[in-house]
Structure 1
């Protein structure tokens, strides 16, 4: 694993309005990348479409049936951390761990989402969009990719951005960028981890976060989620 301790802090309005050479961003990517705090993302605890249930991934808690159907899934081959459950989507090609006391909910435009039973701002979401890229290295240098993504896509106007950590890892021939960032406005601040990867002709994004007042308490817990994200061959 290669890691960077680079820390960046600024107001999003001070970033030059340059063309993003790493993503060739369009409207669909902007919608795919925005954190749950954005007004463009609508999440609820009810399911809107019946077919959404049918394509839900197989949870590790399904027991022997899961192990029989998907014996080669890397996530299932590992020992599950205490107080986490595994979410595996063999149809859309990704997997991750989530806190066992969280519950699934429907988040518009996302393929899967879980949240704390009592603190809804503590949640994770996964979504993906088509891409012609083959690997995240095709997007450009890690610091440029992450800086542009957070400042241009995640941050709303007049929010201050801090990116204290960026990391790269490689597993099973797949490359991932995981990074921590905080978005601060006049009356609110939230911190997140995000992991991005490219596989199967898709650009995958997992974001997990919490209110900044609780971040120090839950940071390590949520880092497990971000580090567990994997893309699977489909």
Structure 2
């Protein structure tokens, strides 16, 4: 299998698909590309692996261009809160903040995910599915949407549900529902925030949560993550 490669002048590691954006001012200084660095896909890859590698290389290039245009992207033009990093997926059209001491991991069926280094059930994950809806309001009023999601999608048959709060916001002309809920099983209980939005022909869902016994200590920290979720135009 032939090697696929892309030559890049300057590639900010902070703007790959799995990005860690430490500070907008730092990124704003990166404005030029260098043609001397080469990033390549290994020869020993399957067809799917090669396609994934090519996609990541493309994202690297797009990320470099985006960094040179700062503060054109609204998320990156903002001041990232202390002790958080920004994840920006230019290809799939979304972004959010996550605690800077969390690490990336694979969460089945999700596009991105980060978790606490020591407490694996304390994590954030994002997924999306195709939709013909244009806006989150097309799903119905927030009370009806949240009730159906938590009770019929998020909860397992043996779990008790408690919806604690729900909020609606509009950011950059896009509407979001964010809600807080607890799922209790016989063995343990977890509490989470979920933020849902529609854009780019996709229905996005971000969920960030922790064990219920730790919720009072981490609630405000995780609310920052839930409120930071944005859909980007692609």
Q: Same fold per TM (> 0.5)?
A: yes
Max radius of gyration: which structure? Answer: 2
Aligned equivalents of 1:128, 1:152: Cα separation in 2: 18
Give, in whole Å, the separation in 1 of the partners of 2:210 and 2:88: 23
- Whether the 8 Å CA contact 2:176–2:197 is kept in 1: the answer is yes
Task: Spell out structure 1 runs of 4+ moving beyond 4 A.
Answer: none
State the 1:197 CA deviation: 0.1
CA distance in 1, matches of 2:158, 2:70: 46
Q: How does 1:1-234 map to 2 (within 5 A)?
A: 56-61=17-22, 63=27, 64-65=29-30, 67-69=67-69, 71-234=71-234
Q: Aligned partners of 2:187 and 2:87: how far apart in 1?
A: 34
Unaligned 5+ residue runs, structure 1? 1-53
SS at match of 2:87: strand
Which of structures 1 and 2 has the larger relative contact order (alpha carbons within 8 angstroms, sep 6+)? Answer: 1
Q: Give the C-alpha shift of residue 116 in structure 1.
A: 0.2
CA RMSD of aligned residues (A): 1.8
Is the CA contact (8 Å cut-off) linking 1:159 and 1:184 kept in structure 2? yes
CA drift of 1:70 comes to: 5.2
SS in 2 for 1:60: coil
* Contact 2:70-2:77 at 8 Å conserved across structures: no
Find the counterpart in structure 2 of residue 35 from structure 1: none
CA contact (8 A) 1:57 1:90 kept: no
3-state DSSP class of the match of 1:71?
A: coil
CA distance in 2, matches of 1:82, 1:161: 33
- State the shift of 1:78 in Å: 0.8
- Secondary structure at the counterpart of residue 82 of structure 1: coil
2:59 is aligned to: none
TM-score normalised by L of structure 2 = 0.74
**Secondary structure at the counterpart of residue 219 of structure 1:** helix
TM-score norm. by structure 1 comes to 0.74
